[in-house]
Amino acid sequence: MSRVFEARPFVIPDALRHSENLPNGGRKAPHRARRYLSGYLSTLKALDLVLVTSAVLVAYVTRFGLDEQSVGGLSIGYGYVALGLVVAWVLSLNIQRAYDGRTVGHGVQEYRQVFQGSTWVFAVLAILGFAFQIEFARGFVLLAYPLGTLLLLTGRWGARRWLVARRKSGELSDRVILVGDADHVAGLVGALRRAPDAGYQVLGACVDDASGEVAGVPVLGPESDVLLKAFEHHVDVVAVSSSAGLGTTGLRQLGWALEATDIDLVVAPGIMDVAGPRVLTRPVQGLPLIHVEAPRFVGPERVLKNVMDRLAALAVTLLLGPVMLAVALAVKIEDRGPVLFRQERVGQDGRSFSMFKFRSMVLDAEERLADLTASNEGAGPLFKMQHDPRVTKVGAFIRRYSLDELPQLLNVLRGEMSLVGPRPPLPREVAEYAEDTHRRLLVRPGMTGLWQISGRSDLSWDEAVRLDLYYVENWNPILDLMIMWRTARVVVSTDSGAY
């Protein structure tokens, strides 16, 4: 059912009526995204400079020692080349917007900018060498690039940990007012709460069809009061949902009114859970059209994922072989029962397979399940109990650190599972799936996934489904690497939601 709004003009604060009261006399303000991060960004620049200099210096000393040498065919010493490389590297990071306050602390975009900045400077160096027939020392270049890139990414990771900790405590975050109808505002509130590391602190909302609170956020007034409320609450961002009754003209006027202030305007499109690589904005006669590419479930990238899954599973199996043997012995010694537990799961395209785990429950666990149904703490069709009496002592330990899931490496080697993917469901769970939920079965299930790093057993059913569908729709190699990296941290965490 569509919303019907009566056209209502904005309430213009007095400060906006007189340009002499505005910053820059009413002229368009310079780039001001997240000025409160200026100290953090300055520190980040200094850190990157130190890391880049260290990498280049190590590469120089390793290749040339302490002796000065000249570039082949030129009278320029490598000391000057090293200095120029440091300057070019830092400049490239700035060109790639690696210090943009709107992207730091959240998402893979920040890491991508650092990687691209590093790659571009060495690509240009290679092109110059080829074009002008300059023989750069390969050992110097081949050591400086990977070492510097690794140091930069590691430094950025450490800086992000500090920033995320501050944001989770309510510091160094944008103060935000939301604009839209109650349902869309509630969705935005939920999305921003799920990502505190993004740095958005919602103060309130301007909504026409609700009063009091929406999703725990106070309603400050109607949509037409957004400018007034933004000034009253000293916000940093006004976030407008696609459901807002402002219309094209109203949104444009809102942007004009805010451009001379320190308040940023953010527009949340109606399409949700679509990652950036699938979105392309194309302006047509001043109208920004958003093109959304269809998700790809076949092709070279999927073949590469399957090959890498099996190679990585084989390597991990060989590496953790002693650990798996120790777990198997502990399970066997405790009650002399079988070491492995096989359970039918549903895989890609609805095909069933036997999933392997180290047995963590008593031998008659399945028979006792019916007696525990009333104590189910799981969401949706899932059965979960935080203190399940069927779990053995060894089982509780290996579940705590996800060691019970290591035999699933065999499923990966057999091509039934992937290292990263949606959670492998039981047949009875699939029988209760809604139509949309069946999209989880378009790809192979994974040993880990977004559900693993986002709360595991503590997630609601709807949230677990949303995370799995997001992965299915937006898979890419960088997302897989991020999930595997965070999985390692979650496994050793004291609050991982595993039981």
> What is the pLDDT at residue 1?
40
Q: How confident is the model at residue 405 (pLDDT cuts 50, 70, 90)?
A: very high
Question: How many Å apart are CA 479 and CA 107, to the nearest integer?
Answer: 10
Whole-number percent of the chain with pLDDT over 90:
38
Q: Which of 296, 337, 360, 363 is nearest to 498 (CA)?
A: 360
pLDDT single digits (tens) 70-113: 665 556 777 888 899 999 999 999 999 999 888 888 877 888 89
Q: How confident is the model at residue 377 (pLDDT cuts 50, 70, 90)?
A: low
> What is the pLDDT at residue 12?
57
pLDDT single digits (tens) 288-342: 777 777 677 677 878 888 999 999 999 999 999 999 999 999 999 998 889 999 9
- Whether the Cβ atoms of residue 207 and residue 181 lie closer than 8 Å to each other: yes
- Whether the Cβ atoms of residue 45 and residue 99 lie closer than 8 Å to each other: yes
Q: Average pLDDT, stretch 421-430?
A: 90
Residue where the block lists tokens 């019907």: 4
Q: Which helix (H) or strand (E) holds 204?
A: strand 200-206
Using DSSP, state whether 238 is helix, strand or coil.
strand
Question: Is the model's pLDDT at 6 over the cut of 60?
Answer: no
Q: How many C-beta atoms surround the C-beta of residue 111 within 10 A?
A: 19
The pTM score is 0.71
> What is the pLDDT at residue 496?
53
Q: How confident is the model at residue 190 (pLDDT cuts 50, 70, 90)?
A: confident
Lowest mean pLDDT among 195-209, 368-382, 425-439: 368-382
Q: What DSSP designation does 77 have? A: B
Using DSSP, state whether 288 is helix, strand or coil.
strand
- Whether the Cβ atoms of residue 250 and residue 225 lie closer than 8 Å to each other: no
Backbone torsions φ then ψ of 62, nearest 5 degrees: -65, -40
Question: How many Å apart are CA 129 and CA 72, to the nearest integer?
Answer: 10
pLDDT single digits (tens) 278-303: 677 777 666 677 777 767 767 787 88
Q: Average pLDDT, stretch 50-76?
A: 81
Using DSSP, state whether 235 is helix, strand or coil.
coil
Question: How many Å apart are CA 359 and CA 395, to the nearest integer?
Answer: 7
Taking each continuous run of H as one helix and of E as one strand, the counts in the chain are: 17, 12
Q: Is 181 exposed, middle or buried (0-12, 13-18, 19+ CB in 10 A)?
A: buried
> What is the pLDDT at residue 275?
61
Residue where the block lists tokens 């699933």: 408
Q: How confident is the model at residue 408 (pLDDT cuts 50, 70, 90)?
A: very high
Question: How many Å apart are CA 219 and CA 182, to the nearest integer?
Answer: 9
